[in-house]
Amino acid sequence: MKSISFDLLKEMCAVHAPSGNEVGMKNFLLNYIKKEKKHWLHQPTIYAGERFQDCIVLVFGKPRTAVFAHIDSIGFTVRYQNQLVKIGGPRTDSGFVLVDEKGREALLQNKDNALSYQSKHILEQGTELCFKPQWRETKEYVQCCYMDNRLGVFNALHLAQTLKDGAIVFSCWEEHGGGSVSYIQKFLQEKYKIKQALISDITWVTEGVPHGKGVAISMRDSLIPRRSYVNRIISIAQKSKVPFQLEVEGSGGSDAKELQMAAYPWDWCFIGAPEDFVHSPNEKVHKKDIEAMLALYVVLMKEL
């Protein structure tokens, strides 16, 4: 694989799009797709607008498999008297620098798990705060807030460059309970007869899934995918020679939760690069794992 530029990933990590207010990422993606799709090998049908809320669906050719990449992030909502309420499950260390949609900064304060902020600005009730982006890149790593899941989106956009048959879904609300995947699953099932998915998301570095050893194929987290489908994916990955690791966890979840609980029977598998310092301003991913993630998705979307 030729050397990867991470300029797009850096730009996306700075887009303000906490769960429930993903419009910033939606507009960014629609503008990017409009500008770049002329360079793609195949042209997609683009579904967006009120029917899909802030989600976007790209359909290429005769799709068999859908890739889901959520575009929302964790964060905080301003409550009353400088109090904060979590959006999703962010790390809550005192001193983290937060920023709102207007660029106003605040310092996170955590005293006995009572969350508040300090700022020279008066922030209105309902203001959403995200981690302030600080991009760091070395020869081996990229590090910033919101690798989860801007990196999953980055992977999906890379896939779109060459995808012939398949669907790409940019979904919302994943970090705070979901809510968009079920109606998109229904749409894709009824219109295109799709019944299998890959989850383009980011997982954790653990004692069994270290940095630099390849993309993680998750055999289970808090839910258990159908083993026959996961086995197909592992078999394809083995033949591809793309570096990968097998992940087994008892907690965590993704857009797959809604797929498994929805009305139609879909197969799914979570496949993503592992990161350290999860849900903090310092999410860190090895470049070799990103390269493996990009390569394996291209192979899987041809073979599944």
Per-residue model confidence (pLDDT) at position 3:
79
Residue 150: name the closest of 290, 299, 298, 296 by CA: 290
Per-residue model confidence (pLDDT) at position 2:
63
Residue 224 to residue 267: CA distance in whole angstroms: 10
What is 7-74+136-303's CATH number?
3.40.630.10
pTM over 0.95: yes
- Domain boundaries in the chain? 7-74+136-303, 75-131
CA angle 77, 22, 300 (to 5 degrees): 125
Q: What is the DSSP code (8-state) at residue 1?
A: -
Could you tell me if 234 and 217 are in contact, meaning their C-beta atoms sit under 8 angstroms apart? yes
Q: Point out the residues of the chain with pLDDT beneath 70.
A: 1-2
Per-residue model confidence (pLDDT) at position 263:
87
Give the helix/strand (H/E) hosting 170: strand 166-171
CATH of 75-131, one of 2.40.50.220, 2.40.30.40, 3.40.50.2000, 3.40.50.300: 2.40.30.40
